[in-house]
Amino acid sequence: MTIHINQENSQFHLQGKEVSYIFQVMRNGQIGQLYFGQKLRHRDDFSHLSKEEFRVTSSYLYEEDPSFSLDTVKQDYPSYGTSDYREPAFHIIQPDGSRISNFTYQSHQVVKGKPGLKGLPATYVEDETEAETLVLRLFDEVTEVELNLMYTVYHNRNVIVRSVNFINKGVEEHVLDRALSASIDLPDSNFEWLQLAGSWSRERHIHKQRLHPGIQRIQSTRGTSSSQHNPYIGLKRPETTEIEGEVYGFSLVYSGNFLAQVEVDQYDISRVSMGISPFDFSWKLNPGESFQTPEVVMGYSRAGLNDLSQTYHDLYQGRLARGKWRDRERPVLINNWEATYFDFNEEKLLSIAEQSQKLGIELFVLDDGWFGRRNDDTTSLGDWFVDEAKLPNGLKPLVDQVNDLGMSFGLWFEPEMVSKESQLYKEHPEWIIHVPGRKPSTGRHQLVLDFSNPDVVEYIYEQMAAVLSESNIEYVKWDMNRYMTEIGSARLASDQQMEVPHRYMLGVYHLYEKLVNAFPHVLFESCASGGARFDPGMLYYAPQGWTSDDTDAIERLSIQYGTSMVYPLSGMGAHISAVPNHQVKRVTSLKTRGDVAYFGAFGYELDVTEMDDEEKEQVKKQVAWYKEHRHLLQYGTFHRLISPFEGDGNETSWMAVSKDQNKAVVGYYQVLARVNPGFNRVKLSGLDPDKEYRMEGFERTYFGDELMHAGIQLEGGYDGSQTGGIDESGDFSSQLFVLTSVNES
């Protein structure tokens, strides 16, 4: 049993693998938070975990009892305006203008497994015995709105998954202008806040700071989860490291505008809130209608950041990603974008494919420029038909020829956008997100289609489905290169304009769902100017995402390290590109570029026809090596060892370990060389301490406990003599270590 219910005192205890989540119905009928953390044994009363005490400055619900105030108690999904002065989880505006509500407990239900969320991505179960879901039904008698709080606990995972459903059971219309997915009050504020922040080409860098009184928050108001802030925050104890200490994680399974915040109050309670951003949001809740929030996955570990990350990796890889490609090894691909940009023809594409096939590459991807009259980024988005000036024979003959080489074929789309210079815009100028009478801003010479309009979504589906049905296309790169501005919809009423961003996101999910169902063999990769929509919501439809447009190996150390806080390696597109790098102009060796890109869904983003024979031979060896270790790298257990965000940032190290702990691959990276350095070691993680390992290139063997506690002795750097040092010790250098257990049966 994972859900225990103490009927007499209305207490609920959710037990996961090593986690407990405990709450109760308070005397006013609302839900009080008791505990979230390391797994506790169940007992018949947890009332001692709650504290009610008089405070002279507080307001009280009961005049005869000044000890009970919502200003001082911990709550689980708090409301607004009845003695709690902190920010609430939800807010309902009623016809008379009131914002006050009083949702009280009515009943509960325990459901085996985990119900899906209508129209939204969500974690799931394949067997109902994996998890149990508790649904609490609350009701407000004045508004006649029902509130269903949903909590899922997995038997063998350390997560609690939460979402909320609002149902208007009355006869009057109400407006939600705040509807978060989860709120929880933690009993103290002795935490470091961890977020993944950045911008285009430097996404998901790790930033940490101590909590302080007041509100700390991140959010996106751009129409996507954004490259500026990822929909994830961690709360770690100051002493917590990668391998030990307590840490909480909060991850939102959503791809649009979001809010994640912690409010530290006057009594040092930390209120964590997460969900759709209330900024520029409202939702008209008509009689009989409901509103479903996205879900928040709350994780917990007392074994450090790595352990929490591995919890998310395992869940998102196996119970969020879906379909044929969820558990399959990802093909080694080559994308023509940085090789040709818009300037290509059939002959050029085939020459790249032919050379790539000889090197062992398995998938050829045709990027932007194949459709309409797309010779630059000013035209043709929305016109999803082949540009016969570039491909006079059409797409199918090209696909067939690539297939005849023994390679799969992939294609780029940007379904959510339209160019002013396009047939689609000329026929349907009202189909863009816009405000009448206001000049629309442009970005990259394109406008955002109004995916809150089902007619637009259906039109784009028909266009894409026609292309995918005509040829044997087995991979789709789905790009999105424009944030929202002048947000409005010609289809929606004036009092629904603030629904546009969320309705847009529901439209994107609907299009993805239709395509995934119609073309289950296709591997979808999400992209949004690189990593501007790299979030759990996308993983539900596209099991891998383009991690960043920045393919520079050194910058990728930070990007991939930060991304791994939440996301599995199988979900990270990681490619080798040409040098000087097209984003930062840095020159790194082909070896270093490969050693970084191996830790992800591996591929190339360059023109192999311009390589000399020595480089081609090196690529051939890289591809062969990756294929040999691909399953381990994509589906092993990932451990971060040395952070580029700590110290001077000159070193980074990480490793992947097979599930049976018989094999491991370790990567070590140095940004700048040091003259006459010390004798550095890297301590490994995740090995079996009792197993004996042979390290490729070394004569002797090592036990797991040695490698984890004493570490690997790294090769020395330049020692001041002409003959000292090794090739791998210079600037932008890397070393790989492959370990195999000699105990393997």
Classify the phi-psi angles of 514: left when phi > 0, otherwise alpha if psi is within -120 to 50, otherwise beta: alpha
- Tell me which residue of 546, 665, 675 sits closest to 605, measured CA to CA: 546
Other C-beta atoms within 10 Å of 217: how many? 16
The domain 3-319: what is its CATH number? 2.70.98.60
State both tokens at 444.
């990259």
Tens digit of each residue's pLDDT (9 = 90 or more) over 461-497: 999 999 999 999 999 999 999 999 999 999 999 999 9
Q: Would you state the pLDDT for residue 68?
A: 80
- Residue 515 confidence (pLDDT) above 70: yes
pLDDT at 735 over 90: yes
3-class SS string, 406-447: CCEEEEEECCCEEECECHHHHHCHHHECCCCCCCCCCECCEE
Check residue 73 and report its DSSP letter.
Answer: S
User: What is the Cα–Cα distance from 270 to 74, expressed in whole angstroms?
Assistant: 9
Catalytic one of 76, 549, 552, 595: 549
Q: Residue 548 pLDDT > 80, yes or no?
A: yes
Average pLDDT rounded to a whole number, residues 711-736: 71
Q: Is the pLDDT of residue 446 over 50?
A: yes
Structural element, H or E, at residue 317: helix 304-319
Confidence of residue 724 (pLDDT cuts 50, 70, 90): very low
- Backbone φ and ψ for 47, nearest 5 degrees, come out as -60, -25
Alpha-carbon torsion 441, 444, 450, 451, what sign? negative
**CB 95: neighbour CB atoms within 10 A?**
10
Query: What is the predicted pLDDT for the residue at 57?
Result: 66
The fraction of the chain above a pLDDT of 90, given in percent, is: 91
Q: Which CATH architecture has domain 641-741?
A: Sandwich (2.60)
pLDDT reported for residue 680: 86
- List C-alpha distances in Å: 691 to 218, 610, 664: 44, 46, 12
Which residue matches tokens 């490994």? 684
Rounded CA-CA distance 339/135 in Å is: 53
- Plot region of 234 (φ>0 → left; ψ -120 to 50 → alpha; else → beta): beta
pLDDT at 56: 67
Q: Which of 130-144, 161-175, 314-328, 708-722 has the lowest mean pLDDT?
A: 708-722
Structure tokens given for 82: 């009845």
Pairing mode of beta strands 296-301, 159-168: antiparallel
Q: Is 694 exposed, middle or buried (0-12, 13-18, 19+ CB in 10 A)?
A: middle
- pLDDT score for 678: 81
CA gap 33, 26 in Å, rounded: 9
The average pLDDT across 352-374 equals 98
Per the listing, tokens 């049993």 go with 1
| Residue 443 confidence (pLDDT) | 85
User: Any catalytic annotation for residue 479?
Assistant: yes
Q: Are 333 and 378 in contact (CB under 8 A)?
A: no
Binned at pLDDT 50, 70 and 90, residue 55 comes out as confident
- Average pLDDT on 558-567 reads 98
Measured CA to CA, the distance from residue 270 to residue 295 in angstroms comes to 20
Assess whether pLDDT exceeds 80 at residue 718: no
Distance separating alpha carbons of residues 368 and 341, to the nearest angstrom: 7
Helix (H, G, I), strand (E, B) or coil at 465: helix
Cα–Cα nearest to 742, from 636, 661, 630, 639: 661
Give the DSSP H or E segment for 541: none
pLDDT at residue 721, as a whole number: 56
pLDDT at res. 493: 96
- Contact status, residue 688 vs residue 704, Cβ threshold 8 Å: yes
Q: Which of 76, 84, 185, 479 is catalytic?
A: 479
Question: Dihedrals φ, ψ of 667, to 5°?
Answer: -115, 135
Note the pLDDT of residue 494.
96
Q: What is the pLDDT of residues 596-634, one digit of tens each?
A: 999 999 999 999 999 999 999 999 999 999 999 999 999
Mean pLDDT of 148-176: 98
Measured CA to CA, the distance from residue 80 to residue 521 in angstroms comes to 48
Whether 160 and 138 have beta carbons less than 8 Å apart is answered as no
Residue 112 has pLDDT above 60, yes or no: yes
Q: Can you tell me the distance from the alpha carbon of 551 to that of 575, in angstroms, rounded to the nearest whole number?
A: 6
Please tell me the distance from the alpha carbon of residue 714 to that of residue 693, in angstroms, as a whole number: 17
- The answer on pLDDT for 64 being more than 90 is no
Does an H or E element contain 664, and which? strand 663-670
Radius of gyration, alpha carbons of the chain: 27
What CATH architecture does domain 333-414+451-491+507-634 belong to? Alpha-Beta Barrel (3.20)
Report, as an integer, the average pLDDT of 340-350.
97
Q: Which two tokens stand for residue 152?
A: 């899922």
Which residues have a Cβ under 8 Å from the Cβ of 341 and sit 6 or more positions away? 368, 369
188 is catalytic: no
Using the predicted structure, report yes or no on whether residue 657 has a pLDDT greater than 80: yes
Confirm if 331 and 363 have CB atoms less than 8 A apart: yes
Q: Are 438 and 487 in contact (CB under 8 A)?
A: no
Hey, what are 253's tokens? Answer: 């399974």
* Residue 96: pLDDT over 70: yes
d(CA 693, CA 696): 10
Domain ranges, ordered by start, for the chain: 3-319, 333-414+451-491+507-634, 641-741
Q: Would you state the pLDDT for residue 725?
A: 44
Q: CA 586 → CA 279, 581, 583, distances in Å?
A: 39, 5, 8
The neighbouring-strand residues paired with 739 are 664, 695
pLDDT per residue as tens digits for the range 192-226 = 999 999 999 999 999 999 999 999 999 999 999 99
The token pair at 589 is: 């060796």
Evaluate whether 701 touches 729 at the Cβ level (below 8 Å).
Answer: no
- In whole numbers, what is the pLDDT of the chain averaged over residues? 95
β-partners of residue 110 are 134
8-20: pLDDT as tens digits: 999 999 999 999 9
423, burial (CB in 10 Å: exposed 0-12, middle 13-18, buried 19+): middle
Total-model pTM: 0.96
Higher pLDDT, 745 or 459: 459
Q: Looking at residue 675, what is its pLDDT?
A: 84
Instruction: Label residue 721 exposed, middle or buried (CB < 10 Å: 0-12, 13-18, 19+).
Output: exposed
